[in-house]
Amino acid sequence: MRRSPLKSALLYGSVIGSLAVILFPVYWLFVTALSTTFELSGLPPSFWPENPQWWIFGKVWSERPIPRWLTNSAIAAIGSVVLSMFVSVLAGYALSRFRVRGGHSLGLFILTAKMLPATLLVIPLFALFSRLGMLGSLWTLIFAHSTLIIPFTTWMLKGYFDTIPRELEQAAMVDGCSPLGAMLRVILPVSAPGLAATALYAFVLSWADYAYARTFLVNAQSNWTANLGIATMRGEYTTDWNEISAAAVFVAIPIILIYLFLERYLVGGLTAGSEK
C-alpha cells in the first residue's frame, strides 16, 4: 500500500528532525575542533570555519598522551564488559529460567541497585578501594563500573532470555546436553543479538564515565582514562576548546566503530523460525 503524500512528509520530516537533534552536537564538535579560538568567540557563530584547521588532530595526537588515555579507557571498558557479562549472563539466565524462592523480589532488588545515583556510591567505593590499597589502579574502574552495569545488564538479559522458548533448551537436553551445555550450545548462540546489545551498553557506560575515574585515578596520571585526560586539558586561565574537541573526536571514534561493527548483531530476529 502506498503512503499518502502527507504521511510521507510527516514521516520524513520527523526522521530528519530527530537526526538533526541527534547529529547536531557531533557536527558542532567537529566545527569547534576545526575553528580557531577567534572564530569560536565570534558572534553570530559561524557554522563552518573559513579555514578548517585539520592539522589540529595531528597536533593533539602528538602533544597529548591520547593513545595511552584511549588504551586505559579500553582496558577499563573491556574489563568491565567481560566481568559484567560473565556475572549477568549467569544471573539473568537463572532469573529467567529457574523457580527460585523469592526470585521475583530478588530481581526487583537487583534493579533498585541501579536506581542509586552513581555519585552516591563514589564515597563508599572510595573508602573500600582505599582500604584495599587499590586507588590509582584500573581495577578500581573495572569493579566500580561493574557495580553500575551488572544490575542493568542482568535485567536486560533476563528480559531477552524470557523471549527465548524454554523448549529450545529442553530439546537440547533431550538431545543429550547438560543444562549448562544447553545454555552454552543453544541459548547463548541464539541470544547473540541480545548479548551484543547488552555488551555494547556496558561498554558505553564504562567508556563514558568521568566521576569514578576522577575520584579513583586522579593521582595516577599514567592510568588516566580519556575522559579524565580531556578534562585536565582545561587551563587555569585559558582553554583551547578546539584542542579539547579534537581530543573528544578521538574518544568518540571507537564507539562509532563498534556500533558499525555490531550493527548486524543488534538487529534482532535470530530466533525467528525456531518455532511456529
Q: Rule CB under 8 A: which residues touch another protein?
A: 165, 167-168, 170-178, 181, 186, 189-190, 192, 270-276
Residue from 250, 216, 257 nearest 233 by CA? 250
CB of 21 to another protein, least distance (A): 36
CB of 245 to another protein, least distance (A): 43
Nearer to another protein, 31 or 172 (CB): 172
Nearer to another protein, 19 or 174 (CB): 174
Q: What is the largest CA-CA distance in the chain?
A: 72
CB of 186 to another protein, least distance (A): 6
Rounded CA-CA distance 160/96 in Å is 9
Nearer to another protein, 31 or 187 (CB): 187
CB 140 within 8 A of CB 76: no
CB of 181 to another protein, least distance (A): 8
Nearer to another protein, 83 or 171 (CB): 171
Helix and strand element counts for the chain (H, E) = 14, 0
Instruction: Report CA-CA distances (Å) from 233 to 18, 66, 112, 184, 244.
Output: 32, 11, 36, 46, 7
CB of 185 to another protein, least distance (A): 8
CB 166 within 8 A of CB 179: no
Nearer to another protein, 58 or 179 (CB): 179
Dihedral of CA atoms 154, 157, 209, 114 in degrees, nearest 10, equals -40
CB of 11 to another protein, least distance (A): 29
Residue from 257, 201, 259 nearest 77 by CA? 201
Nearer to another protein, 13 or 189 (CB): 189
